[in-house]
Chain A
Amino acid sequence: MKRSMGVAAWMALVAVIGAVPLLTDDRYLLKVLVFVGINVIIVSGLALLFGYAGQISLGHAAFVGIGAYASAYVTSGLGLPWLVGVLAGTTLAAIGGLLLAMPSLRLRGHYLAMATLGFNEIMYVIFREARAVTGGNDGLSGIPFPEVLGVRMDTPASIYLLVWGTALVVVFLVANIVRGRPGRAMRGLHGSEIGALACGVDVARLKIRTFAVSAGLAGLAGTLYAHAVGFVAPSTFSLEQSVVLLAIVVVGGTGSLAGPVIASIALTLLPYADALIPGLGKDVIAFLQDWEADIYGIAMIVVVVLAPKGIGGLIRAARSRSRAEETG
């Protein structure tokens, strides 16, 4: 079954993303879109792990935090170049993913959820208490802007392009993983672990690799976040954020990449709807932001009840409908 996006569709996506900073210089909108792009990266990795391989993680916000703090420390603490910070943050998060994969070799379902939840809580305590590195509850500020080859990306437009360029590459790579043999093995593992073992899938290695890649992507997103915002504090990486990330994947649909990417764009934009719709009243925004978690919760219930396969399932259904119409 071919569900790949054509070259034309990818080109169109590149064009749309590239056009945004030409069409607007609204700093607020660009900033919001940076958050959206960062979430697209995290959610792509989580869709791989949870949506495809069926391994739950309630610890992904912690991986984002590992990436963010590591990169912040390496650059502003140690004075090393930005790219070193990005590599350090991504690698450290991937190693964290390797460690978190260990319980997944023995635990599944609720037990794995509990183990990863515990991981997030432990990391949260570390972020708050390891003051020498993390700055404790006050966080770390003065994190330098991204800089490659002497070019400093200190404008909203340049950071937007950096984040979305990265997001595009990440989505493209993840799309290739899920379409190929590893993706098939992941979905097999999701369907039946014993079945996958009987087919000769090295399940342990698959889980470890998927956890590492997924956590590494979260870490990469974390490094982008740290340098885009210039400031990191523990609350950004709390368990609550992990729950929100998982909710986005569920709303997007398991076994789908496009669904979760769309869901992450829509749900991240929601509390900042005023960035897109300038006339929107302050009270509406205040309402959306106050009720953000509840809106996510309701979105999840609606999906579970009305469209259990999420946005991805709706896309598949629409596609097979249009294919049926084409063939008569």
Chain B
Amino acid sequence: MTSDSILAVERLSAGYGRVAVLRDVSVDLAAGEMVALIGANGAGKTTLLRSLAGLLKPSGGRVWLEGADVTGMAPERLVRQGMALVPEGRMLFGPMTVTENLLLGAHSRPRRDESVRTDMDRVSALFPVLVERSSQPAATLSGGEQQMLAVGRALMSSPRVLLLDEPSLGLAPKVIADIFRVLKSLRSEGLSILLVEQDARLALRHADRGYVMRTGEIALAGTGAQLLENDDVRHIYLGARHDSRG
């Protein structure tokens, strides 16, 4: 781990029961950096994010958050330490209103924290459509609005590290562009973002750096530009065919 990394993952192993999925995964994230994690379906990207958010206990390795060892810490403590997850499939509270979803996002914070209101305003400014929908059940929102709500809900815990699992999945290009615009503005405000994406091109174009995951291991690492140029990446994840070596 480097001294300036806000999140450092050191040789992490994790799995489900006796099925090992992650093997010796090392990843780090500097403050204010957006890092993409790409890889084929089943590579273990979600498993990594779940382990980082405390939803899954790692079987080996270490996780450091702002210099503190948080390996195996319970999710509710990790949220309080500044780690927030936008889970795969959003996992919103469907029957609850948009406002209630956001308030529950602030559940980890003290009862009468005045800054909760400030963060509510901030999320409203980032996603104005959520204001229009504030008293609507989350389940009645469009896919894009739901994803915005999922991001907004995670921001309500006032995180310093944001873990996002496939935010673009199933969304129209315009909505994806909106969401990435917000992510970049959050980064410029100092938030550190670890972004899991199936859409490698999209992720690498926006990210400062990227990791390529293959069957539970980190296969490649580099800047977004380097990975976009990499032949393997082009072949396997970007669908390039005739325009390289072959």
A contact set with B: CB distance below 8 Å? 1, 181, 184-185, 187-188, 190-192, 194-202, 255
B91 adjacent to A184 (CB under 8 Å): no
B107 adjacent to A200 (CB under 8 Å): yes
A184 adjacent to B103 (CB under 8 Å): yes
Closest 7 A/B residue pairs (Cβ): A200-B108, A200-B79, A191-B93, A195-B91, A192-B91, A202-B76, A200-B76
Within 8 A of A (CB), among B118-157: 135, 153-154, 157
B94 adjacent to A191 (CB under 8 Å): yes
Q: How far, in whole Å, are A255 and B93 apart by their CA atoms in the complex?
A: 13
Shortest distance from the beta carbon of A328 to any chain B beta carbon, whole Å: 17
Chain B residue with minimal CB distance to A185?
B107
B95 adjacent to A199 (CB under 8 Å): no
In this complex, how many residues of chain B approach chain A with their Cβ under 8 Å: the count is 33
Q: How far, in whole Å, are A1 and B104 apart by their CA atoms in the complex?
A: 14
Residues in A whose Cβ lies below 8 Å from that of B201:
none
Query: Can you name 15 A-B pairs with beta carbons within 8 Å?
Result: A184-B107, A187-B93, A187-B100, A188-B107, A191-B92, A191-B93, A194-B55, A196-B93, A197-B53, A198-B79, A199-B105, A199-B153, A200-B76, A200-B108, A200-B157
Shortest distance from the beta carbon of A256 to any chain B beta carbon, whole Å: 11
Residues in A whose Cβ lies below 8 Å from that of B36:
none
B107 adjacent to A199 (CB under 8 Å): yes
| Interface presence of B234 (CB below 8 A) | no
Q: How far, in whole Å, are A201 and B104 apart by their CA atoms in the complex?
A: 8
Residues in A whose Cβ lies below 8 Å from that of B92:
191-192, 195
B96 adjacent to A198 (CB under 8 Å): no
Provided the pairs A181-B107, A184-B104, A185-B107 are in contact, do residues A197 and B55 lie with their beta carbons within 8 angstroms?
yes
Name A200's contact: one of B75, B86, B100, B135 (CB within 8 Å).
B75
Residues in A whose Cβ lies below 8 Å from that of B105:
199
Residues in A whose Cβ lies below 8 Å from that of B242:
none
Name A1's contact: one of B55, B108, B135 (CB within 8 Å).
B135
Q: How far, in whole Å, are A196 and B153 apart by their CA atoms in the complex?
A: 11
| Interface presence of B111 (CB below 8 A) | yes
Q: How far, in whole Å, are A200 and B155 apart by their CA atoms in the complex?
A: 12
Q: How far, in whole Å, are A199 and B80 apart by their CA atoms in the complex?
A: 10
Residues in A whose Cβ lies below 8 Å from that of B7:
none
Chain A residue with minimal CB distance to B163?
A198
A194 adjacent to B103 (CB under 8 Å): no
Name B104's contact: one of A188, A202, A255 (CB within 8 Å).
A188
| Interface presence of B26 (CB below 8 A) | no
Name A201's contact: one of B76, B91, B97 (CB within 8 Å).
B76
B104 adjacent to A194 (CB under 8 Å): no
Chain A residue with minimal CB distance to B80?
A200
| Interface presence of B213 (CB below 8 A) | no
Residues in A whose Cβ lies below 8 Å from that of B75:
197-198, 200
A191-B93, A196-B93 given; name 11 further pairs at CB < 8 Å.
A1-B97, A187-B100, A188-B96, A192-B94, A197-B55, A197-B76, A198-B87, A199-B104, A200-B76, A200-B108, A201-B76
A199 adjacent to B100 (CB under 8 Å): no
Q: How far, in whole Å, are A94 and B97 apart by their CA atoms in the complex?
A: 32
